[in-house]
């Protein structure tokens, strides 16, 4: 029997990165991951429906977010937190409590187009404005600086000449984010349970 790390995924919206994790998990590609909980800061986030469909417990926290978040995490002895399209910045208190146990996926190759204010479609618009030929995604540990934690994994994606921000966003999700986020999660979980 393989030891598993208990994982909570934090979302704010549609949950496409969550779905990528669920798909790999269901296919048995994340043997060290116990996908235990999905938490949203918005009660109407579509990602909650994705979690329900996969029979994963889910919770929407709309008030006293961090206080209630910590309670949910501690009640379930969560080992790893994945930020998957989660738009809040976590406080130093949460980050320190789960040091090197919170991971995030960012839709660019850090250190490019990252930090405060760079999220979602804004990242891709900035990349196109600069005229970069390569973009991609980065999975990194979360620290107190937005997108400032140690890089775990990156994957490059070609930027095409006539790309719109939306086309680039879709390609980066499909070719990079949805691949490296589950891989990085399994890597962290495996390292944690085999320590």
- Say which CATH number the domain at 49 has: 3.40.50.170
Catalytic residue annotation: 106
CA distances (Å), 172 to each of 41, 49, 108, 123, 126, in order?
A: 25, 24, 8, 11, 14
Q: What is the pLDDT of residue 80?
A: 98
Secondary structure of residue 59 in the 3-state scheme: strand
- Rounded to whole angstroms, how far apart are CA atoms 50 and 48? 5
- Rounded to whole angstroms, how far apart are CA atoms 62 and 162? 40
User: What phi-psi label fits residue 106: left (phi over 0), alpha (psi between -120 and 50 degrees) or beta?
Assistant: beta
* pLDDT-above-90 percentage for the chain: 93
Closest to 7 in 3D by CA, of 29, 32, 27, 42: 32
CB atoms closer than 10 angstroms to residue 132: 16
Whole-model pTM? 0.95
Q: What is the pLDDT of residue 2?
A: 74
Tokens matching residue 44:
């109407």
Instruction: Convert the pLDDT of each residue in 82-108 to its tens digit.
Output: 999 998 999 999 999 999 999 999 999
Instruction: Convert the pLDDT of each residue in 118-138 to its tens digit.
Output: 999 999 999 999 999 999 999
Do you know the residue count of the chain? 195
Q: What is the pLDDT of residue 1?
A: 67
Pairing of strands 102-106, 134-141: antiparallel
Per the structure, the count of domains in the chain is: 1
| Residues in the chain where the model's pLDDT stays below 50 | none
Contacts of residue 107, Cβ cutoff 8 Å, sequence gap at least 6: 120, 123, 124, 135, 137, 169, 172, 173, 176, 177
Q: What is the pLDDT of residue 50?
A: 97
Cis peptide before 111 (omega within 30 of 0): yes
Closest to 188 in 3D by CA, of 3, 58, 33: 33
Q: Which domain holds residue 157?
A: 5-193
DSSP category for residue 89? P
Say how many Å lie between the first and final Cα of the chain, rounded: 16
């Amino acid at each position: 029997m393989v030891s598993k790390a208990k994982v909570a995924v934090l979302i704010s919206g549609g949950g496409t990165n969550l779905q990528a994790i669920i798909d790999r998990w269901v296919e048995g590609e994340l043997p060290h991951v116990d996908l235990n909980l999905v938490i949203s800061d918005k009660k109407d986030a579509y990602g909650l429906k994705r979690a329900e469909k996969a029979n994963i417990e889910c919770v929407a926290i709309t008030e006293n977010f961090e206080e209630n978040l910590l309670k949910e995490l501690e009640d379930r002895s969560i080992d790893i937190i994945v930020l998957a399209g989660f738009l809040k910045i976590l406080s130093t208190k949460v980050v320190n409590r789960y040091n090197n146990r919170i991971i995030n996926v960012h839709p660019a190759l850090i250190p490019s187009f990252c930090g405060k204010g760079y999220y979602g479609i804004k990242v891709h618009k900035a990349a196109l404005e600069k005229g970069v030929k390569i973009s991609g995604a980065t999975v990194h540990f979360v620290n107190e600086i937005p997108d400032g934690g140690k890089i775990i994994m990156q994957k490059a994606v070609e930027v095409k000449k006539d790309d719109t921000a939306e086309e680039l966003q879709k390609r980066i999700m499909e070719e990079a984010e949805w691949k490296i986020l589950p891989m990085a999660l399994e890597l962290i979980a495996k390292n944690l349970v085999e320590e």
